[in-house]
Structure 1
């Protein structure tokens, strides 16, 4: 019986610690959800809300390195994509340490899958995307 109580005590501590860790996790997810909203609507104003003003977006696309300031990046959004209803977006991982965090997201756009890695920072009490790098994978035969 004593071993069971000790085990339950450890489980309580573990679950309590986990519940506490979810609060910053949920806060860090907010700018990623905002980013998804910007993607879904194609609205540069909505997209811009997710980022710090100094953010950069970088990756390799069509075999070439690309880099944009956040202003250049959001300027490319001109309304929802024609296939928006079939697109899928997920937050796959979040890791938080104090006021710094990282997140991984997957965006499936037809035969193209983007894997986004975000570096986030809590500034003036609010989480924002500081930088984003991405990978593009095109399904073979499509």
Structure 2
């Protein structure tokens, strides 16, 4: 008997009539937004988007340069002071502030043979995200995910999460 009553709410849902919206074809429905509606941009929007992409890419350059030089002071210029860096290397979880991260970069020394690739940058207003792949940074491969914010016309990194791949 208890089983019957526990199924009662579900059974009642099955008996509800189909509404007019549910019975309309996708072409008739007004609550569906098509990808064509979302992606409509003016030429000015497209030009601005390209400029912002280049600006975010430029904001990542001090970080990328520090991978080669091992200069923690240069890496600082890419980040907001409040930034946190989270990830793991050698199987050890790390959650450090910018000061500790900059010291770690300086202490590790240069990696003159490091290569990088900016896999993607995604921008929405003053917020952005980026993925950068590094290979041969002190002999390791890293994937870095950055969160950036544009304040007073300047893009800076607010936080970073990384994976050290086979060094985990």
Shorter-chain TM band: 0.7 to 0.9
Shift of 1:127: 0.4
Q: CA 1:126–1:109 in 2, change beyond 3 Å: closer, same or farther?
A: same
1:86 equivalent to 2:139? Answer: no
Counterpart Cα distance in 2 of 1:77 and 1:60: 15
**How many equivalent pairs are there?**
125
Q: CA 1:70–1:124 in 2, change beyond 3 Å: closer, same or farther?
A: same
Return 5+ residue gaps in structure 1 as ranges: 1-12
Higher relative contact order (CA 8 A, sep 6+): 1
User: Larger radius of gyration, structure 1 or 2?
Assistant: 2
Shift of 1:18: 3.5
Q: Which residue does 2:133 correspond to in 1?
A: 106
Counterpart Cα distance in 2 of 1:14 and 1:77: 41
- The structure 2 residue matched to 1:41, chosen from 65, 69, 76, is 69
Shift of 1:76: 1.4
1:22 equivalent to 2:46? Answer: no
CA RMSD of aligned residues (A): 2.1
TM (norm. structure 1) is 0.79
Q: Which residue does 1:73 correspond to in 2?
A: 101
DSSP-derived class of the 2:118 partner: strand
TM (norm. structure 2) is 0.67
1:96 equivalent to 2:159? Answer: no
TM superposition outliers: structure 1 runs of 4+ over 6 Å = none
More strand by share: 1
DSSP-derived class of the 2:105 partner: coil
